[in-house]
Amino acid sequence: MIIYNTLTRRKELFEPLHPPYVGMYVCGPTVYGDPHLGHARSAISFDILFRYLLERGYKVRYVRNITDVGHLENDADEGEDKLLKKARLEALEPMEVAKIYTDRYHDMMDALNVRRPSIEPTASGHIMEQIEMVQQIIDAGYGYVINGSVYFDVVKYSTQHHYGALSGREIDKLLAATRDNLEGQDEKRNAVDFALWKRAQPEHIMRWRSPWGEGFPGWHLECSAMGRKYLGEQFDIHGGGMDLQFPHHESEIAQSQIANGHPPCRYWMHNNMITVNGQKMGKSLGNSIMLEAFFTGGHPLLAQAYSPMTVRFFILQAHYRSTLDFSNDALQAAEKGLRRLFDAAKTLASLTPDDHSAVANKNAALADTLVEKVYAALDDDLNTPVAMAHLFDAVRLINAAHDGKEPLSTAAAAALRGLFDDVVTQILGLRDDRQASAAAANVIDGVIRLVLDLRAVAKASRDFAASDRIRDELLKLGVSVKDTKEGTTEYTLPVTD
Ligand code: ZN
């Protein structure tokens, strides 16, 4: 498999350090607000990588963190921790805020069929590991303590290493750009230095004891400390959104280099941003759309509601390293594409193969080539748009066979079924949400009928306590039960919108 390594700026053959094991770390969400489309893009991009590596036979340990300690982030002007601000506004404990938004994130990612990572560590659960790393950096001479805060000396680091190698920045330019910026941050030796540990102000609720006084870890530290804890000092892949390259990932590299003596990983992968009419989607521009709004249609920029699978399909239609421009037209096209894809899957299941005509033999060769092309596209830095274009060639083959124009041989039909099972379902993680709801309704009906049968048995043996209990418990779930004069039982489900 070939992947584009952001660090070397070229495509490289992926060779894990300890095959068949692969360790991958991806920066997860900061849980002080609802997930938006950008969160979905990052999670889905690395979900494809996770699924593809698994499909290729690797044993993957996928670590994705939850940032729940509250950070000033790079927005020092705001002066207030975002998580704390939210807690204050909503009159909640900071950990309550973190829990609410962690659950929301999980719900949305589950709806998008994003597989959960192998380990999902929280920053607040790894304070000791972070303190240990800060101490190592101080001991190595690259961290300095001022007024209960600890900073990383980027200037000293830069005499030996290239701070900026990942994002293509030069320390001289960084210093020049930050020279006038020192106001208010004058306890740092240099404006480019970043915090490893921050002294907690009296009003700061999330605080932990440390050798340097009460405080909280710096923004970049948790990923270095938790990556090391679960994946070792050096692992295979580190991923995240492109906006995290600088200063977050750049600083992670510096921390690991000093604490461990080498960089944290071999391959860096970054997904690109989502744009609206060419502008980056973001809260500050007022064009950020929450995921839930997509599913309900509740945003002025949305012409209608889109199912989670439509959103997933839409995201996969662009390569993860390209920008993805949001538009209703593109989402509506994705909705149609998804339907066409799964209609073809259904057609394929009902087709009778024809092994006797010459056309059928020709199509067997075509189907094999298509399968090869789909995997070649995925192998080439997860080129999902190209893979999907070939899937629609498969759709055309299936539809032509269905129309009786060009029959499929048994082998061709099997190859195409393999594409749907392995690529569409397993790797791309797409599913027919129409079918899913029909299947779920079937299960619900079956379960209620079963419970009603048990109630009938209880009644017949004059166990009225049991039969009443069944009726009452069903009613609590909104299912009302009615015995008819004819001796049958009917039920009605609660009304949902
Ligand atoms: Zn991170």
Are 398 and 454 within one domain?
Answer: no
> How far, in Å, is the centroid of ligand 1 from the Cα of 48?
19
**Count: domains in the chain:** 3
In angstroms, what is the span from residue 334 Cα to ligand 1's centroid? 31
Question: Residue holding tokens 């004069």?
Answer: 485
Same domain, 101 and 175: yes
Q: Quick one: pLDDT at residue 285?
A: 67
Q: How far is the CA of 475 from the centre of ligand 1 (A)?
A: 47
Q: Are residues 47 and 90 in the same domain?
A: yes
Spatial contact of 488 and 452, defined as CB atoms under 8 Å apart: no
Per-residue tokens: 93: 């404990």
Could you tell me if residue 220 is inside a domain?
A: yes
| Residue with tokens 């189907």, as numbered in its chain | 367
CB 163 within 8 A of CB 198: no
296/227 same-domain check? no
Question: Phi/psi at 371 (nearest 5 deg)?
Answer: -60, -45
For residues 125 and 219, membership in a common domain is answered with yes
CA distance 241 to 283: 16
CATH number at residue 304: 1.10.730.10
Q: Is residue 27 part of a domain?
A: yes
396 and 336 housed in the same domain: yes
Query: Is 300 inside a domain boundary?
Result: yes
pLDDT one digit per residue (tens) for the chain, 497 residues: 999 999 999 999 999 999 999 999 999 999 988 999 999 999 999 999 999 999 999 999 999 999 998 664 434 434 456 667 777 787 888 888 899 999 999 999 999 999 999 999 999 999 999 999 999 999 999 999 999 999 999 999 999 999 999 999 999 898 888 766 555 556 899 999 999 999 998 877 889 999 999 999 998 999 999 999 999 999 999 999 999 999 999 999 999 999 999 999 999 999 999 998 788 887 666 778 999 999 998 898 999 999 999 999 999 999 999 999 999 999 999 999 999 999 999 999 999 999 988 888 888 899 999 999 999 999 999 999 999 999 999 999 999 999 988 999 999 999 999 999 999 999 999 999 887 677 778 888 899 999 999 999 999 999 999 999 999 999 988 888 888 888 888 888 876 54
* CA dist., res. 86 & res. 148, Å (int): 26
Residue 77: the pLDDT is 39
What is the sign of the dihedral through the CA atoms of 71, 74, 75 and 77? positive
Question: Ligand 1: distance of its center to the CA of 350 in Å?
Answer: 47
- For 494, residues 6+ apart whose C-beta sits below 8 A from its C-beta are 477, 478, 479
Q: Is residue 91 domain-shared with residue 140, that is, in the same domain?
A: yes
Q: The domain containing residue 403 runs over which residues?
A: 291-427
Distance, in Å, from the CA atom of 307 to the CA atom of 331, rounded to the nearest integer, reads: 10
Distance CA 259, CA 238 (A): 17
Q: In 3D, which of 151, 157, 161 has the Cα closest to residue 182?
A: 151
CA 20 remoteness from chain centre: 23
SS3 464: helix
Neighbours of 211 (CB within 10 A): 11
69 Cα–ligand 1 center, Å: 13
Of residues 61, 77, 112, 280, the one with CA closest to residue 184: 77
Judge residue 347's burial from the number of C-beta atoms within 10 Å of its C-beta, 0-12 exposed, 13-18 middle, 19 or more buried. middle
Q: 31 CA distance to ligand 1 centroid (A)?
A: 13
What pLDDT is stored for residue 74 in this prediction?
38
- Examine the fold and report which residue of 370, 397, 427 is the final residue of a domain before the chain moves on: 427
Q: Beta partners for 353?
A: none
Residue 441 Cα to ligand 1 middle (Å): 41
Residue with tokens 């790894």: 126
Contacts of residue 319, Cβ cutoff 8 Å, sequence gap at least 6: 381, 382, 383, 384, 385
Residues 6+ apart with CB under 8 A from 254: 142, 152, 154, 157, 161, 163
In contact, 124 and 102? CB cutoff 8 Å: no
Distance 372 CA to ligand 1 centre (A): 36
Q: How many angstroms does the Cα of residue 202 sit away from the middle of ligand 1?
A: 27
Domain co-membership, 245 together with 146? yes
* Contact (CB, 8 A) for 276 and 325: yes
pTM of the model: 0.86
Judgement on whether residues 346 and 474 belong to the same structural domain of the protein = no
Ligand 1 centre distance from Cα of residue 244 (Å): 7
89 and 46 within one domain: yes
Whether residue 494 has a cis bond before it, omega within 30° of 0: no
Residue 489, beta-bridge partner list: 483
Could you say which of 240, 271, 302 is where a domain stops? 271
Q: Which amino acid is at 415?
A: A
Instruction: Determine the pLDDT at residue 477.
Output: 87
Q: Are 209 and 158 found together in one domain?
A: yes
Q: If you measure from the C-alpha of residue 55 to the centroid of ligand 1, how many angstroms do you get, rounded to a whole number?
A: 26
Residue 223 Cα to ligand 1 middle (Å): 5
Instruction: Confirm whether 315 is domain-assigned.
Output: yes
Q: How far is the CA of 331 from the centre of ligand 1 (A)?
A: 30
**Is 169 in the same domain as 25?**
yes
Residue 36 near residue 112 (C-beta atoms within 8 A): no
Q: Which residues contact 158 (CB under 8 A, 6 or more apart)?
A: 171
